[in-house]
C-alpha cells in the first residue's frame, strides 16, 4: 500500500524554524518526484517545493531563500527545512509523490507561525 506520512509540524514563533519530514512506503521512492504543498484557510493548495529523482529542486517564490527541500533515498524520506518563518506560512502542509502522472498525497500536517 502506497503511503506518505508527514511529521514535524507544529507551532513556532515568527523567525523560527521547523523541519518537516515525509516518510514514504509501498513505492519505489528514488524514481519519484517528491513535493511539498500547502493550503491556507480559504486558499487553494499551492506548491512550496519539489525535488525530482535526479535531485533537481524547484521552489515557489515565497519559499526561495528560506526553505530547503531534500531527500534521503536510503530512508525513503523527503524533508522540508523551513527557516525565517512568517505568519503567512501558516497552513496545512502536504507531502506529494508523483511518477508518470500518478500522484499520492499525505494526510497533511499543520504548521502555525505566530507573530
pLDDT tens figures, 34-87? 999 999 999 999 999 999 999 999 999 999 999 999 999 999 999 999 999 999
Provide the β-strand partners of residue 111.
10, 91
In this prediction, residue 33 has a pLDDT band, given cuts at 50, 70 and 90, of very high
In angstroms, the CA 20 to CA 81 distance is: 6
pLDDT of amino acid 27: 87
What pLDDT does residue 101 have?
Answer: 84
Read off the pLDDT of residues 9-26 as tens digits, 9 standing for 90 and up.
999 999 999 999 999 998
Report the pLDDT value the prediction gives residue 111, as an integer from 0 to 100.
98
Amino acid at each position: 500500500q502506497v503511503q506518505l506520512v508527514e511529521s514535524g509540524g507544529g507551532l513556532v514563533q515568527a523567525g523560527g524554524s521547523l523541519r518537516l519530514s515525509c516518510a514514504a512506503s509501498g513505492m519505489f521512492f528514488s524514481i519519484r518526484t517528491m513535493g511539498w504543498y500547502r493550503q491556507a484557510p480559504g486558499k487553494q493548495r499551492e506548491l512550496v517545493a519539489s525535488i525530482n529523482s535526479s535531485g533537481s529542486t524547484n521552489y515557489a517564490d515565497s519559499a526561495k531563500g528560506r526553505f530547503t527541500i531534500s531527500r534521503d533515498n536510503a530512508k525513503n524520506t523527503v524533508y522540508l527545512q523551513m527557516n525565517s518563518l512568517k505568519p503567512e506560512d501558516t497552513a496545512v502542509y502536504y507531502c506529494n509523490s508523483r511518477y508518470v502522472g500518478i500522484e499520492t498525497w499525505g494526510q497533511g500536517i499543520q504548521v502555525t507561525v505566530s507573530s
